[in-house]
Amino acid sequence: AQKITQTQPGMFVQEKEAVTLDCTYDTSDQSYGLFWYKQPSSGEMIFLIYQGSYDEQNATEGRYSLNFQKARKSANLVISASQLGDSAMYFCAMREGAGNQFYFGTGTSLTVIP
């Protein structure tokens, strides 16, 4: 089974609108961390936001927020007030408490339309 599933290969959003990128995960660990990364066309991977499995509040970082639903094992990224510079690939990742590996999803390509 895939550890991280991102079901949206591509998404489009109008500039200044909000968009939600889906991520579901699979783990039997009680302790785990969830991360989102952005990869622009230039190729670098940029860390955006983190959510711990024991965090009661949803994580927020500027225009990024994480909609964490533990029972559903989902960790969706919400980008508010989209900007043209948000056009990129977005990857969801997980680290389990038992190991040191990062598991990445296949990514979602976001295009912001002016």
Partner 1 sequence: DSGVTQTPKHLITATGQRVTLRCSPRSGDLSVYWYQQSLDQGLQFLIQYYNGEERAKGNILERFSAQQFPDLHSELNLSSLELGDSALYFCASSVGSGGLNQPQHFGDGTRLSIL
Q: Determine if 31 is a binding residue for partner 1 (CB under 8 A).
A: yes
* Nearest-angstrom CA–CA distance, 7 and 24: 9
Contact pick of 1, 28, 44, 114 for partner 1 (by CB under 8 A): 44
Nearest partner of 41 among 90, 88, 77, 105, judged by Cα: 88
For partner 1, which stretch binds (CB under 8 A), given 15-23, 64-72, 74-82, 98-106? 98-106
* Nearest-angstrom CA–CA distance, 72 and 113: 31
C-beta of 13 vs 107, nearer to partner 1: 107
Contact pick of 17, 97, 111, 113 for partner 1 (by CB under 8 A): 97
The b-or-e profile of 92-106 (16+ CB within 10 A means b, else e) is bbbbbeeeeeebbbe
Q: Determine if 25 is a binding residue for partner 1 (CB under 8 A).
A: no
67, amino acid identity: N
C-beta of 24 vs 105, nearer to partner 1: 105
Q: Determine if 64 is a binding residue for partner 1 (CB under 8 A).
A: no
13 SS3 class:
strand
Q: Which positions lie near partner 1, rule CB under 8 A? A: 31-33, 35, 37, 42-47, 50, 52-53, 91, 95, 97, 99-107
